[in-house]
């Protein structure tokens, strides 16, 4: 499932993607080079699971640039 890996990586490393996903404004991903709107649609239920997993188990400071 490459789209899950790509979304996970983008959510971890890009604060802009995190903001868009957390605010559920997925339309703003239409022109995003890291995660497209089509990718988000392909995620189905994973688009809810991944952000919750990251919030619960990942220290985002380790990925901050």
| Residue 19: half-sphere exposure toward Cβ, Cα within 13 Å | 5
Res 7: pLDDT: 93
Please give the structure tokens belonging to residue 35: 């995660």
| Tally of domains within the chain | 1
Question: Angle, to 10 degrees, between the axis of helix 15-22 and the axis of helix 46-57?
Answer: 120
Q: In which domain, by residue range, is 53 found?
A: 2-63
Res 50: pLDDT: 93
| Residue 32 in this model has a pLDDT that exceeds 60 | yes
Indicate the pTM of the whole model.
Answer: 0.82
pLDDT in tens, 37-65: 889 899 989 989 999 999 899 887 766 65
Give me the DSSP letters along 5-41.
Answer: HHHHHHHHH-HHHHHHHHTT-GGGGGG-SSS-HHHHH
| Residue 28 in this model has a pLDDT that exceeds 60 | yes
pLDDT in tens, 15-26: 999 999 999 999
């Amino acid at each position: 499932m490459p789209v899950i890996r790509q979304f996970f990586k983008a959510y971890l490393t890009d604060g802009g993607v995190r903001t868009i996903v957390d605010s559920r404004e997925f339309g703003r991903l239409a022109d995003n080079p890291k995660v497209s709107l089509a990718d988000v649609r392909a995620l189905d239920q994973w688009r809810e699971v991944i952000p919750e997993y990251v919030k619960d188990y990942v220290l985002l400071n380790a990925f901050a640039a």
